[in-house]
Amino acid sequence: MKFDTIIMGGGLSGLTCGIALARTGKRVAIVAGGQNTLHFFGGSFELLGNVDGADVTNPLEAISSLDQQHPYSKMGHEQVAQLAEQAKSLLGDAGIKTSGDSARNHYRITPLGVTKPAWLTLDGLATTDRPDSLPWKKVALINLESFIDYPIDFVVEGLRALNTTVEMPTVTLECIKRARRSATEMRATNLAKVFTNTRNVAQLAEAINAVAGDVDAVLMPAVVGIDNEDASDILKAQVEKPMYFLPTLPPSVSGVRINAALRHYFQMLGGRFLLGDTVDKATLEGDRVTRVNTAKLQDTPLEADQYVLATGSFMSKGLVSNFERVYEPLLDLDTNAPKEHAQWSQFGLMGDQPFMSYGVMTDEHFRPLKDGKPLSNVYAIGQVLGGHNPLTLGDGTGVSLLTALAVAQNILDQK
């Protein structure tokens, strides 16, 4: 089977790169093994949140202080600024509406009720301009009875620390009780399926109006509408007070929706999406990959002019570690992980974990290095890349989006 480009990995960066290429009429196939880390997405994209332990105000300016190995350093200030705009409009074209500015971070509220710098936040989610206060004096945080997988006490404590009075009225509904009969957990996505039904949404609105009281805004966990915005739009229209959603623990409703929206858009553009399949072999001739084989298509090799590695980090097995080393399992590409095992991680869960910045090394066009030399028709994008750190730098989703677009541009520039 022949394509112009084959992308290995169907998460945020793989889909973004696929869309950018398919839009220009390229024949693109994405091989995606299982669902991806978008399901852990909180609802905000970050470009650059922290440098040297301090919050970043202007991400575009702060790029100059990054290490030379950082993906943004390879693009340079101008390209980062331009691709950031392109990313925002691509998301919009896929039906994902966001607000935010690459030259000025705002603050998102994490699922545990803490503020963190963010670049783009999905419309409808609560945000604030400052790390230490909310735009409202008094809010009602709706406590959905039976939503046991929501750490509401943490969130209330977090919000109260932001100079806001927080009420926590409880809402009980028959439809939630019915769903609760299931022996499964009560995750955000389970509830979102209940609140896709417009009758249930109307009941929810009525119940919220009855308990909200005299507040500036109503906040509630993002558990409304699994497939699209319709249900949450209806709810917001029916709730009398201004209303905003807060992100939840995974799997998140925003993540499921973004994933579906991007995939739908990619396929609408003619892209081929091979879900539940993985590339298990890449044939290398000299410095070129000539074909790949997947677990499910076995004796049908996939061939393309370019191959994009978007296989993610350790969790998605784009990187693997054993007792001896950290390696990239498909092509055994060069990584920036030190040989010494002891340096991989530090004690304490929240500390700077060096292994989070491990990944494959590339040249300035994001072509990965093997034995010190770049492969000529392979590119690496997203979390498989080394030299950045989603935990300490707050650059995870930004790196995924921007490297995807940069590589799409590099591929298109070739001819």
Partner 1 sequence: MATTQLTSISDHNFEQCLKCSICTVYCPVAAVNPAYPGPKQAGPDGERYRLKDPKFFDEALKLCLNCKRCEVACPSDVRIGDLIQQARMKHTTHRPKLRDMMLANTDLVGSMATIVAPITNFSLGLKPVKVVMDAVMAIDKHRTFPAYSAQKFEAWYRKNAQAQQDKFAHHVSYFHGCYVNYNFPQLGKDLVTVMNAVGYGVHLLDKEKCCGVALIANGMYQQARKQGEVNMASMRKSINQMRRPIITTSSTCTFTMRDEYPELLGVNNDNVREHLSLATRFLFQLIDEGEVKLAFRPDFKMRVAYHTACHMQRMGWAIYSTELLRMIPGLELVELDQNCCGISGTYGFKKENYETSQAIGSILFADIEAAKPDYVSTDCETCKWQIEMSTGVKVLNPISILAQAIDVEATQKLNGVR
The whole-angstrom separation of Cα 296 and Cα 315 is: 22
Q: What angle do CA 135, 88, 51 make, to 5 degrees?
A: 65
Beta strands in 198-251 (DSSP E): 217-221, 243-246
What's the one-letter identity of residue 85?
A: E
292 touches partner 1 by CB under 8 A:
no
403 SS3 class: helix
Q: 38: closest CA among 13, 21, 19? A: 13
294 SS3 class: strand
Nearest residue (CB) to partner 1, 68 versus 298: 298
182 touches partner 1 by CB under 8 A:
yes
280 touches partner 1 by CB under 8 A:
no
Nearest residue (CB) to partner 1, 137 versus 177: 177
Binding footprint of partner 1, residue count (CB under 8 A) = 41
- Interacting stretch for partner 1, rule CB under 8 A, among 27-35, 138-146, 382-390, 405-413? 27-35
Which residue is associated with the tokens 């940069």? 406
- Interacting stretch for partner 1, rule CB under 8 A, among 44-52, 73-81, 82-90, 268-276? 268-276
294 touches partner 1 by CB under 8 A:
yes
Which residue is associated with the tokens 């001739």? 285
4 touches partner 1 by CB under 8 A:
no
The whole-angstrom separation of Cα 333 and Cα 329 is: 8
The nearest distance, CB 262 to partner 1, in angstroms, is 12
Tally Cβ neighbours within 10 Å of residue 2: 12
Q: Are 165 and 139 in contact (CB under 8 A)?
A: yes
Nearest residue (CB) to partner 1, 184 versus 322: 184
* Residue 404 structure tokens: 């995807």
Among 50, 115, 189, 392, contact with partner 1 (rule: CB under 8 A): 189
- Interacting stretch for partner 1, rule CB under 8 A, among 128-136, 269-277, 337-345, 357-365? 269-277
Among 256, 310, 401, 408, contact with partner 1 (rule: CB under 8 A): 256
Nearest residue (CB) to partner 1, 18 versus 33: 33
The nearest distance, CB 54 to partner 1, in angstroms, is 33
Which residues from 309-328 bind partner 1, rule CB under 8 A?
315-316
Which residues from 61-120 bind partner 1, rule CB under 8 A?
none
**Which residues, listed in sequence order, are joined to residue 292 by a DSSP beta bridge?**
282, 302
The nearest distance, CB 371 to partner 1, in angstroms, is 30
148 touches partner 1 by CB under 8 A:
no
Tally Cβ neighbours within 10 Å of residue 361: 20
**Which residues, listed in sequence order, are joined to residue 379 by a DSSP beta bridge?**
308
Which residues from 151-170 bind partner 1, rule CB under 8 A?
none
Q: 38: closest CA among 148, 108, 122, 104? A: 122
- The helix (run of H) or strand (run of E) holding residue 411 is helix 396-413
237 touches partner 1 by CB under 8 A:
no
Which residues of the shown chain bind partner 1 in the complex (CB under 8 A)? 1, 29, 33-36, 39, 178-185, 187, 189-190, 193, 226-227, 250-251, 256, 260, 263-264, 267, 272, 274-277, 294-297, 299-300, 315-316
